[in-house]
Structure 1
């Protein structure tokens, strides 16, 4: 009889109790008769009555919502872009998120992004989305989304809004490429001109140095020095074994070499 009662108790526990396993990177919240518990469980098991309760598991890791949208620009063009919205649920506020937004909160994040991105991108030109202004656009979209999400309740942390694979209208893309090419050509020509100016300045400096050297040399050649140099030249010639014809006026030598 005791054995029978024991097995009956086990059967009742099996029928009225069940368990959910919470893995790393997850958090579980028990919902009983439609009401969420304020207790958030992580990495373990949760016992619950399957007839009146259930356990909802949500990721606490960084999640990525990917979208491909056509964004409006200030001049009225449409710019296609691949978007990544990085967000994370705040662990202690998961019950609040589930109560206010439900498990379909990603669709709400997406709707808020569509509205925020349209408002922000309409203030910028299409070329800005393809330049260094992209980071500013991303930050403004994120800020506007954060404000709109807080109106829906706390619990969702926006990490980043990333605009990837920007595709400008064909005509505008060609114009931007031509402009960039023209800017590069202008920079290259400016470099060539600068190099030419430097080379011209170098030649001027060399010429001025040569002129100054000749001036100093000519100023140092007095008549007395010329006479001394002439005598030294005659002395050197007198010691030479080669036969030479010397035509001179007695002041400066003029040498004519002859064959040996």
Structure 2
């Protein structure tokens, strides 16, 4: 019995030196005496050297959020990004970027940047891209009219900087854009006035189309009346009258010297 107990205890003590479990969605990077191996470990149970250390790098979708809301991102306090629009107005942007590490780049990222690669390349690149892109737009465009376009431009800028390092940018979204109260109120008034102007322009265009339709309709009726009045000769009217009588019982046609028949109702 003591032998069995010793064997079980030894197994639990020795096994972790030779075995390592890599969770789904992670890559194991091996380092031995400070040297990073080119071989990586994938999800499941793996055998390793007892002298090696395995660092697990996530290859799942991760998010990097910069926000003014307490504890919304990974940093404490106000972590929003300040930027200046093309017209000089200053804005504060809350943003979230979704990304993941390419599995075949996990070893290189760990070797060059360590496990805190987000703080070293992702966040600085995001801040730089926000300031660079927003500088090309007016504050009104940033606050309202072109937010989706700006988010897409930021995504493209971030991707161009980090994807060569093995990080794939999946999506970028503006969580919030903050202005000073006076500037925000001014923009809201401007947008409201613009919407009202567009509404009236639409109404005027619709009324003009309706007026044009009525003119065309009236012209068509006038042309039709002219054509009808020109075609209604006495002979044609007589012809129409004769046609209308052809199915009436008791009607006979009596020819006359002038060529026009007389009609007599047979009782």
Question: Which residue is equivalent to 2:137?
Answer: 124
Alignment equivalent of 2:234, drawn from 196, 215, 221: 221
1:62 maps to what in 2? 61
Q: Who is 2:32 aligned against? A: 32
Shift of 1:165: 4.3
Identify the residue that residue 84 of structure 2 maps to in structure 1. 72
Distance 1:43 1:127, change over 3 A: same
Q: Is 1:40–1:91's contact at 8 Å kept on the other side of the alignment?
A: no
1:16 and 1:22 mapped to 2: Cα distance?
13
Pick which of 170-179 and 77-86 moved more: 77-86
Q: Is the alpha carbon distance of 1:183 and 1:8 closer, same or farther for their aligned partners in structure 2, counting shifts above 3 Å?
A: closer
Structure 2 residue aligned with 1:254: none
Indicate the SS of the match to 2:136.
Answer: coil
Q: Distance in 1 between matches of 2:105 and 2:162?
A: 14
In the TM superposition, 1:49-198 aligns within 5 A as 53-68=52-67, 69=80, 70-108=82-120, 109-129=122-142, 130-131=144-145, 133-149=146-162, 154-166=165-177, 169-198=184-213
Answer whether contact 2:162 2:168 (CA < 8 A) is retained: no
- Inter-partner Cα distance in structure 2 for 1:66 and 1:16: 36
Q: Give the SS at the match of 1:182.
A: helix
Preserved CA contact (<8 Å) 1:26 1:59 = yes
Q: Residue 172 and residue 9 in structure 1: after superposition, are their counterparts in 2 closer, same or farther (change >3 A)? A: closer
Q: If you compute each CA radius of gyration, which structure gives the higher value, 1 or 2?
A: 1
Alignment partners' CA distance in 2, 1:166 and 1:212:
67
Distance 1:200 1:60, change over 3 A: same
Instruction: Tell me if structure 2 keeps the 8 A contact 1:81–1:165.
Output: yes
* Distance change >3 Å, CA 31–CA 98, structure 1 → 2: same
Compared CA separation, residues 176 and 14, structure 1 to 2 (3 A):
same
Q: Report how many residues are paired.
A: 226
The Cα shift of 1:172 comes to: 0.9
Whole-angstrom CA distance in 2 between matches of 1:63 and 1:16: 29
* Partners of 1:9 and 1:186 in 2: CA distance: 84
Counterparts of 1:215 and 1:15, CA distance in 2: 110
Superposed displacement of residue 205, structure 1: 1.0
CA RMSD of aligned residues (A): 3.6
Q: TM-score, normalised by structure 1?
A: 0.71
Supply the distance in 2 between the matched residues of 1:15 and 1:190 (Cα, whole angstroms).
81
1:57 deviation in Å?
Answer: 1.1
Q: Which residue of 2 aligns with 1:258?
A: none
- 73-82 vs 202-211, which moves further: 73-82
> C-alpha distance in 2, partners of 1:145/1:56?
26
TM-score of the pair, normalised by structure 2? 0.69
Return the alpha-carbon distance in structure 1 between the equivalents of residues 92 and 214 of structure 2: 50
Query: Contact (CA 8 Å) 2:29, 2:110: kept in 1 or not?
Result: no
Residue 213 of structure 1 deviates from its aligned partner by 1.0
Tell me, in whole angstroms, the C-alpha distance in 1 between the residues paired with 2:185 and 2:66: 22
Segments of 5+ residues of structure 2 without an aligned counterpart are 68-79, 239-257
Check the 8 A contact 1:25/1:61 in 2, yes or no.
yes
